Structure 1
Amino acid sequence: MKLKLLTLGLFLCFCTAQSQEYFPKNDGVKSRNTNYTVFKNAKIHLDAKNVLEKGMFAIREGRITAVAKSINIPKNSIVIDLEGKEVYPSFIDLYTDFGIPKPKRAENGNGPQYDAGREGYYWNDHIRPDTEAIAEFSFDSKEAEKLHKAGFGVVNTHVPDGIVRGTGMLVALTPEVSEGDRILDERSSQYLSFEKSVKSRQSYPTSTMGTMALLRQAYLDAEWYARGNAKNKDLALEALNKNKNLVQIFATDNLLNEFRADKVGDEFGIQYVIVGSGNEYQRINEVKASNATYIVPLKFPDAFDVEDPYLANLLSLEEMREWNQAPANLKVLSENKVPFALTTNSIDPEKDFRTNLLKAVEYGLTKEAALAALTTIPAKTIGKEGKLGVIQEGAWANFLITSGDYFEKETTLYENWIQGEKKVLNSMDVTNITGNYDLKIDNNTYSLNISGEPSSPKTDVKLGETKIGSKISFNDNWMNLLLSSPDTTKTEFIRLVANIPSKTDTFSGKAILPDGKETRFQAVRKESTDKDKKDKKKKEDKTRSIVAVTYPNVAYGFKNQPEQQNVLFKNATVWTSEETGVLENTDVLVKNGEIVNVGQGLSAGGARVIDATGKHLTAGIIDEHSHIAASAINESGHNSSAEVTMEDVVDPTDINIYRNLAGGVTTIQLLHGSANPIGGRSAILKLKWGESADDMIFEQAPPFIKFALGENVKQSNWSGSRFPQTRMGVEQVFTDYFSRGRAYENSRNEENFRKDLEMETIVEILNGERFVTSHSYIQSEINMLMKVAEKFGFNINTFTHILEGYKVADKMKEHGVGASTFSDWWAYKYEVNDAIPYNAAIMNEVGLTVAINSDDGEMSRRLNQEAAKSVKYGGMSEEEAWKMVTINPAKLLHIDKLTGSIREGKQADLVLWNEHPLSIYAKPEKTMVDGVIYFDLERDSQMRADIRKERNELIGQMLKAKNNGVKTQPVIKKEEQRVHCDLLEEVK
């Protein structure tokens, strides 16, 4: 018994001493190899820039001990001669989920989940910085094999789940070691994304802007928590603070989200490493300005099958361009000195990685830049500079042995050494017989092409122009080749056999003819002639003809951004939208983006002169209620989303921007939707087509927010159990939040004050620092919101929709609120049954500031016609009707001192119409924003011709690609998404 206890004690002591080690998976004793392995006569790529010809290096116990032209060979060394071969550092992938099980989706419960599902953690389940990859990691030999074949030796892996995803780990793909020895860093980085956790059903956030707001709040809360202000322990915030000094890797899925991630990082002094989309070339200057290192997927879109001309017409120019341009993305990044690493994420590393890498090289990526993106840049990014991605003394012995230049298609990858452990991929003892040969048999000369891996070659044989069936095997340097008869009606074969012990330009052997006669054959390698090379190069260059990037990179984008001009409009009929009214035969001079003079007989003073005789010049149309140019409309996860802002989700590539300019619209208020009583903050935009999202924001405009009343917020037309469910509940939401806002404001001086982005916005509303535009329909709710606002000491700025405004116009005037309405919408849902087309005119007659809005991407480009309806229905004067789409919405947005009318000193937002602007036949000939002509009817006509030509060119390229055997994808018709207040999903 004592002996058993002693044995057990010794065992426990051993376990304690070895607590940081992993138990080996196999039985038996593994001896430690302390011998040196020395490699000589190799072409060694020390790093991406430096090469050592016929060099030597030694490794021992997983590390490189020496590298030089000549080194002393220790006595206990194994020497490997790599004559004629090349050595590269093995590759590093920083964005994988290698060895991590797929996160299990939360089971569907009864109704949505609003509160957190984890006790002791952050209030939102999608913030999961406490997740640790090492806790879920298990080495995946099958996936490791694929990565070995692609040349990878190290990966950074993580749990791809949540907005803040927790820590990743750096893992060596060493074939035969214990788990512990593979782990190079168990806390290598922190990962983030725009995607929610699948492990939780918690509703919030439902949008990209909600995700950004949540991330901002989490950072603020982590700082607050770090100061010791929290009463309760929060393991998520503790982890977020613990991880803040790690490399921060942010995964995105499109170019706009790349910029959005960088925006959040900049706000908190965090430089994210951004996992890109592969479309960085489309906005390369903005990408460069981010100062981020990018991790770029080696995934390119397949060509489309465009043989059916009807289906081809359904394909957008944007999709066609992406196929054509995306393979040059890495070249553009490199030329603009944007640091980037490559990832196998979203592709099969064994089948697609090298093919796509070589394609990128064909499209102009230098081999040096490609190697850096796979070695030194990821090593530096993850803090392992000098230890990984190089062949130098002290670095891990992670390297590849190849038959030649890795970036040439015919090169064979022989071995992938990781931590000094060899992984044989192709035997170096197998003779490489790939190439093109003249094969001479029995007075016939065949064309023989041998391709594929040396150990498993493939053949293509022709006799003249006739393709010959063939089958080859190559084992132990013995080749057996079977050729079918050129006459397919005969079952006859020629059998060839030869021993080929070393690479040679000529080999020969025995041939057995169909009649049994034996003879000799000879294969002579063919050298590509200069003409062949030139023809091949010419063919490749034509295939790789890359169309120009435009801004934005969609149809009607500009190849060069239009610039501000000094312009003199001569002899126009000028609709001033001022007390001066409509002026005949009048000139308007624009300089430096402003209107500097309005009058007759003005001189140009070096300005471009535009003859506007017989034409009408107006201020640009302003749409007070728009949902164009957005990637999301609603954040519907809570009944208040005052913390989110539409400025975060501006989409400058939306074709509706151009269409609106073509309809004379120059400024819009991009509103949050109507999913909740207190919606998100607005974005007031100048429609600067081709500019960035940030450049479109009207900086001088005051801040606004969207409120909503009626059916949408109580979820009458879709299933939902979120409070409120009744109109009474809607009122209570406002009362509760405004009460909380006052209490929050009073708590700002408290020692443990916690900054709350939602409450900060509510306080701005209460103090009149942020104006309210409220979605509304029926008179009872209009009255209710005015009374609630007055109770808390502020005014509602604008009621939008307001289709029963004619019933309460006098009370609205007393409150001081304006109206932005539809011209003649009614009866599209129950609460608008009392709408009438006289609404705008009645409210205007009472003395309200009235605007006509769109709430619709199609209607917004013909708001001039919508304004004209009040002339018909309400008997309004033409000038008063025109003001409802120019100066009146400017007044509602508090930008009337800057735009909305034609007067000296105002911004040059102008439209030149070919005839009376209220006519259904009127067309804008030129639309100017801040003195820049963003729409020009003549240029539009030329663009249409250019687009037709470009489409035909790209269709031709795709047809040629398909004929060359390139993989294609089907054309799928995409319906254009109509965006309104009630859109809950992301805009596609």
Structure 2
Amino acid sequence: MKKAFEKPGALLWSHGLTYALKRHRSQLMLLALLLAGTGASAQSTFPTNGIAEPKEGCYAFTHATIVRDAQNTIANATLVIRDGKITDLGPAAAIPKDAVVVDCKGKYIYPSFVDIYSGYGMGDAKKGGFAWNAAPQFLSNTKGAYGWNQAIKSETDAVKLFNTDPSKAAPLRGAGFGTVLTHQQDGIARGTAALVTLADERENTVILREKAAAAFSFDKGTSTQNYPSSLMGVIALLRQSFLDGQWYKNRPAKEGVNLSLQAWNDNLQLPQIFAVTDKWEAVRADKIGDEFGVQYIIKGAGNEYQRMNEMAATKATFILPVNFPSAIDVEDPADARFVALADMKHWEMAPTEPAAFEKANIPFCLTAADLKDVKQFLANVRKAIEYGLTEQKALEALTKTPATLLKAYDKVGSLEPGKLANFLITSGPVFKENSVLLQNWVQGNKYVIKNDGWNDLRGTYAVTLSNGNTYTVEIKGSPDKPQLSVLGKDTLSGKIDITDKLVVLNLPQSKGSNAGLRLNGLIGQNQWMGTGVDSSNSSLKWTAVLSKPYQEKSDSTRKKHAPQVGELLYPFNGYGWDKLPQQQDILIKNATVWTNEKDGKLENTDVLIRGGKIAQIGKNLAAGNARVIDGTGKHLSAGIIDEHSHIAISKGVNEGSQSVTAEVRIADVVNPEDVNIYRQLSGGVTASHLLHGSANAIGGQSQLIKLRWGQTAEELKVAGADQFIKFALGENVKQSNWGDRNTVRFPQTRMGVEQIYMDAFTRARDYEKEGPGKRRDLELDALVEILHSKRFITCHSYVQSEINMLMHVADAFQFHVNTFTHILEGYKVADKMKAHGAGAGTFADWWAYKMEVQDAIPQNAGLMSQVGVVTAINSDDAEMARRLNQEAAKSIKYTGMSEEDALKMVTLNPARLLHVDNRMGSIKVGKDADLVLWSDDPLSIYAKAEKTLVDGIVEFDRDYDLQLRQRIAAERSRLISKMLNEKKKGGQVEKAAFHPDEMYHCEDLQGGHQHDVIQ
């Protein structure tokens, strides 16, 4: 005792004060011993080594403000718990005689929070022995009667893996959580999740529900299996697993047992939780669920606020993380120029996400998942409240909503008799800035979060010294971190240090002076008292009496206005719309109109657009109420159609893990926010055929889109268009340049490629003949569609021998190849292509970039056209697509092709190849108003697309683009200034980083990246 006070400024205690202190500490020790027996009764199934001492903890927490749930608060009430459960609560709750009474005057009691997305107690998933130089793994290496793909882990049960972990439970309890839903966060289908409390007890006593939910994601996790290697492969695997599960219910006896599919079916009865990493993944997950009658609970990524209409359309409940990004360190201008405006805007707007969900009336929970430090959880929830989330909805999102979703509201989520004694004791309203979370009781077990602050000592005190001097002292701050000021002519900042009932005060006596009073003593019920020294080191005694209790400012005076943030843009980058453009009637006057029809070029001609269609073509047309665009001296053409494109695709253009992946669909992974959509609109492109890559013989299904900038993936898709699929020949298919580890997948020769096709279509024919009850195979479904001309082939090709081979295979199975793309040796086999009915999509003058193209010539397109093959010039490259008009013009130079025929190679001809020439590709009454107004002859290198229209909507306007650049500069300047100010205030910042968007080519396995700043 004495040693504790042998420090500068300390005094020897008087005998009376020492006795009081000893008595006080004895009482504390006694209370601690009483509180030790707070657990539930010992389990009878466990033997006792020694004398059994069953303890039944009964406690009454009196004079508290009890927040029973988000809607009901009871003032000056008592909460009674016994044996880990709530037995009574309310103003008139009876206090049992054996209860330990805890006075909670001035305190608040809340239900402990429930986190519905956690990996608590799971440990790290065991990683396989994958190495980059290892051979491909085609089947699962999981031992046992499980499914073929080890990313489908439906059989995994969290309850079998769960171990209590006091070191991980403590910070979660410190954030206010008493219960979590935990699962092994590994794989696409992750199995079941267990609902557990955060008590430091045996596993069997903390598990509330063994199988409370099933979990899914788009991440294959620790699987070392090659398939799937892309997002579209993941989605295809999910879709096939649903179908296999349905089939397995009535499987033939020869199929035997598949524990993965059995678990898949069993788990469908549980709440289904799907974790995503992006707002568009949320839409994709919901779409899969809708396809199979499953409503997912979606664990979001934090950027869903950018598309709230789409989030509402899912009809899902969301789990929202609060891992708001830190400000970016943009002090160095060289760093700042590489930070995308979208990243800056996300930093500013991310805290608005929970409020956006509340405003949209979309149910949601809050989670501590994804936080680097769970200690930030409450601070971030308070930040979300600052940005518009109501406290009531915040509490509901942490209690009732998750508990109800998990069908556990009878146990947790509110304070009611019969429920678990899971509750928080706080110094004030839990979401107020200065409130302190003092204790978290879980299953009747007390866990101290902060000892400091239990007694709120804030207020104004009259301090009287034994020498007759008096001082007025004000204590503010928070209960756990009080701040002291000496009031007078000048308000002087002092120091206060409180440990239990002991207090040390340092009171300055004049401004700028270090000399002052140094006091220590004991905090009593009615007054403080002790001894100390003055500035001359003379001993004195002192007392302090509370003269005015501290009062929190009312909500009306404390409430801050929500911070001002920038506006949402669609898409969420600098070139997005603040409001999506609407279709309108438009009259383009006095232009040179390239019709691509028998009328050819029409000088000084008007084109009237109504309802997104071309309504009239002629001279001196009446505008009526239509917007008039002056086309004098300008050229109007049909929009450019890129027959071979890889823009607007998310997370992989190739599912190259197998030789046949006809089941995967580009439609599943369309990325409507790819800035290349906007860039290509600036080059006159209005439609793109999005193709799978060329990594395998039969790749994925294609998707035709219109470049409707700002719309959703579904709205980009061309409804009713014929469906296509990507085939490939040559070096990529046989993995010629894939390295030494890729010498296992069949085929490895061009001869083998032919056998892959023969085998695939033979299997498809046999599959079609199978009777009722067959297992539906999505891969073979697509091939059967080809056999019946319901799906059409676009084939990557170079060498004439392989081109001939595929046409022979097609003849043998009585289908035809719709389009040979690349086809740089097409001029050698153009007559055979014409006879077969195949068209061509090619490059104007690419050659010598690999062995297969040594015989390429720039006359290729012109020669094929002369033979009568429908020929298009395509890009296979996001940059080239912006100049397809110039690529088409090259055939005028090399083969003397007419200007109109050259333009058709990027307009009408690709429309014919894609079977949409009845809607696109020319300027004709009744066709879609997909048009480009050029500043010059569209085949000139000087021509600029001044306006690009899609369905009669001006999607690109060069004059407006200049305004957008000014807007971007102003918005970047505003946000950089705001981030610099955040750093100046001491806020957390992160290092500037460049986050390039995805950009793919045919041969990309992992994807390329763009190398300029995306606004």
Provide the TM-score with structure 2 as the length reference.
0.89
For 1:131, what is the secondary structure of its paired residue?
coil
Residue 762 of structure 2 is matched in structure 1 by: 739
Cα pair distance change 1:786/1:603, threshold 3 Å: same
TM-superposed deviation, 1:817 = 0.4
Structure 2 CA distance, aligned partners of 1:897 and 1:565? Answer: 22
Residue 174 of structure 2 is matched in structure 1 by: 149
> Is 1:354–2:354 an aligned residue pair?
no
What is the total number of aligned residue pairs between the two structures?
A: 957
Does structure 1 retain, via aligned residues, the 8 Å contact 2:572–2:673? yes
Residue 791 (structure 1) aligned to one of 812, 828, 832:
812
> Is 1:962–2:983 an aligned residue pair?
yes
Cα pair distance change 1:485/1:761, threshold 3 Å: farther
The aligned amino acid for 2:127 is: R
Cα pair distance change 1:473/1:82, threshold 3 Å: closer
Does structure 2 retain, via aligned residues, the 8 Å contact 1:666–1:927? yes
Residue 127 of structure 1 is matched in structure 2 by: 152
Matches within 5 A, 1:492-507: 496-499=518-521, 501=523
Does structure 2 retain, via aligned residues, the 8 Å contact 1:446–1:464? no
- Greater shift, 975-984 or 928-937, is seen at 975-984
Structure 2 CA distance, aligned partners of 1:875 and 1:692? Answer: 42
Residue 716 of structure 2 is matched in structure 1 by: 696
Does structure 1 retain, via aligned residues, the 8 Å contact 2:682–2:948? yes
- Greater shift, 931-940 or 374-383, is seen at 931-940
Does structure 2 retain, via aligned residues, the 8 Å contact 1:678–1:708? yes
Cα pair distance change 1:379/1:893, threshold 3 Å: same
Residue 301 of structure 2 is matched in structure 1 by: 277
TM-superposed deviation, 1:357 = 1.0
Does structure 1 retain, via aligned residues, the 8 Å contact 2:340–2:995? no
TM-superposed deviation, 1:467 = 11
The aligned amino acid for 1:557 is: G
1:761-810 CA-partner distances (Å, limit 9, x unpaired): 01111221100000111111111111111111111000111111111111
1:262-302 CA-partner distances (Å, limit 9, x unpaired): 11111000001111001111000100110111111110111
Residue 847 (structure 1) aligned to one of 853, 868, 871:
868
Residue 727 (structure 2) aligned to one of 707, 712, 715:
707
TM-superposed deviation, 1:473 = 3.3
Matches within 5 A, 1:4-15: none
For 1:46, what is the secondary structure of its paired residue?
strand
Structure 2 CA distance, aligned partners of 1:204 and 1:391? Answer: 48
Does structure 2 retain, via aligned residues, the 8 Å contact 1:622–1:890? yes
Does structure 2 retain, via aligned residues, the 8 Å contact 1:158–1:191? yes
Residue 379 of structure 1 is matched in structure 2 by: 403
For 2:190, what is the secondary structure of its paired residue?
strand
Does structure 1 retain, via aligned residues, the 8 Å contact 2:320–2:367? yes
Residue 589 (structure 2) aligned to one of 559, 562, 570:
570
Residue 174 (structure 1) aligned to one of 199, 217, 220:
199
TM-superposed deviation, 1:484 = 10
Matches within 5 A, 1:249-288: 249-288=273-312
The aligned amino acid for 1:689 is: W
Does structure 1 retain, via aligned residues, the 8 Å contact 2:340–2:994? no
TM-superposed deviation, 1:23 = 3.7
For 1:758, what is the secondary structure of its paired residue?
helix
Residue 75 of structure 2 is matched in structure 1 by: 53
TM-superposed deviation, 1:643 = 0.2
Does structure 1 retain, via aligned residues, the 8 Å contact 2:323–2:371? yes
Does structure 1 retain, via aligned residues, the 8 Å contact 2:67–2:74? yes
The aligned amino acid for 1:618 is: S
Cα RMSD (Å): 3.2
TM-superposed deviation, 1:904 = 0.6
Residue 636 of structure 1 is matched in structure 2 by: 656
The aligned amino acid for 2:644 is: H
Residue 450 of structure 2 is matched in structure 1 by: 426
Structure 1 CA distance, aligned partners of 2:827 and 2:196? Answer: 69
Residue 951 of structure 2 is matched in structure 1 by: 930
1:687-707 CA-partner distances (Å, limit 9, x unpaired): 111001111000121000001
Residue 128 (structure 2) aligned to one of 106, 110, 122:
106
Residue 853 (structure 2) aligned to one of 820, 832, 835:
832
TM-superposed deviation, 1:983 = 1.4
For 2:523, what is the secondary structure of its paired residue?
coil
For 2:441, what is the secondary structure of its paired residue?
strand
Residue 668 (structure 1) aligned to one of 681, 688, 703:
688
Cα pair distance change 1:646/1:24, threshold 3 Å: farther
Does structure 2 retain, via aligned residues, the 8 Å contact 1:296–1:342? yes
Does structure 2 retain, via aligned residues, the 8 Å contact 1:36–1:60? yes
> Is 1:549–2:568 an aligned residue pair?
yes
Does structure 2 retain, via aligned residues, the 8 Å contact 1:667–1:686? yes
Residue 245 of structure 1 is matched in structure 2 by: 269
Residue 44 of structure 1 is matched in structure 2 by: 66
The aligned amino acid for 1:709 is: L
Does structure 1 retain, via aligned residues, the 8 Å contact 2:646–2:691? yes
Does structure 1 retain, via aligned residues, the 8 Å contact 2:460–2:474? yes
Does structure 1 retain, via aligned residues, the 8 Å contact 2:521–2:531? no
Structure 1 CA distance, aligned partners of 2:470 and 2:337? Answer: 50
The aligned amino acid for 2:910 is: P
Residue 219 of structure 1 is matched in structure 2 by: 242
TM-superposed deviation, 1:173 = 1.3
Structure 2 CA distance, aligned partners of 1:465 and 1:778? Answer: 91
Structure 2 CA distance, aligned partners of 1:503 and 1:913? Answer: 86
Does structure 2 retain, via aligned residues, the 8 Å contact 1:507–1:524? no
Provide the TM-score with structure 1 as the length reference.
0.91
TM-superposed deviation, 1:900 = 0.9
Residue 320 (structure 2) aligned to one of 284, 290, 296:
296
TM-superposed deviation, 1:495 = 6.0
Does structure 2 retain, via aligned residues, the 8 Å contact 1:398–1:416? yes
Does structure 2 retain, via aligned residues, the 8 Å contact 1:478–1:497? no
Residue 926 (structure 2) aligned to one of 902, 905, 908:
905
Structure 2 CA distance, aligned partners of 1:435 and 1:273? Answer: 47
Cα pair distance change 1:62/1:585, threshold 3 Å: same
Which structure 1 segments of 5+ residues have no match? 1-17
Structure 2 CA distance, aligned partners of 1:436 and 1:650? Answer: 64
TM-superposed deviation, 1:81 = 3.0
Structure 2 CA distance, aligned partners of 1:525 and 1:851? Answer: 86
Residue 736 (structure 2) aligned to one of 706, 711, 716:
716
> Is 1:70–2:92 an aligned residue pair?
yes
TM-superposed deviation, 1:824 = 1.0
TM-superposed deviation, 1:483 = 8.6
Does structure 1 retain, via aligned residues, the 8 Å contact 2:458–2:549? no
> Is 1:474–2:498 an aligned residue pair?
yes
Residue 21 of structure 2 is matched in structure 1 by: none
Structure 2 CA distance, aligned partners of 1:308 and 1:27? Answer: 68
The aligned amino acid for 2:92 is: S
Identity among equivalent pairs (%)? 47
- Greater shift, 514-523 or 858-867, is seen at 514-523
1:548-592 CA-partner distances (Å, limit 9, x unpaired): 111111111001000001111111111111121111111111111
Residue 33 of structure 2 is matched in structure 1 by: none
Structure 1 CA distance, aligned partners of 2:826 and 2:490? Answer: 81
For 2:582, what is the secondary structure of its paired residue?
coil
Residue 756 of structure 1 is matched in structure 2 by: 777
Does structure 2 retain, via aligned residues, the 8 Å contact 1:642–1:761? yes
Matches within 5 A, 1:864-883: 864-883=885-904
The aligned amino acid for 2:869 is: L
1:904-962 CA-partner distances (Å, limit 9, x unpaired): 11111111112211111211121111121111122211111111111111111101100
Cα pair distance change 1:80/1:435, threshold 3 Å: closer
The aligned amino acid for 1:965 is: G
Cα pair distance change 1:53/1:911, threshold 3 Å: same
For 2:431, what is the secondary structure of its paired residue?
coil
For 2:69, what is the secondary structure of its paired residue?
coil
Structure 2 CA distance, aligned partners of 1:848 and 1:464? Answer: 96
Does structure 2 retain, via aligned residues, the 8 Å contact 1:496–1:509? no
Structure 2 CA distance, aligned partners of 1:960 and 1:732? Answer: 65
Cα pair distance change 1:903/1:510, threshold 3 Å: farther
The aligned amino acid for 1:550 is: L
Structure 1 CA distance, aligned partners of 2:111 and 2:216? Answer: 29
Cα pair distance change 1:647/1:480, threshold 3 Å: same
Cα pair distance change 1:461/1:75, threshold 3 Å: closer
1:881-918 CA-partner distances (Å, limit 9, x unpaired): 00001000000000000111110111111111122111
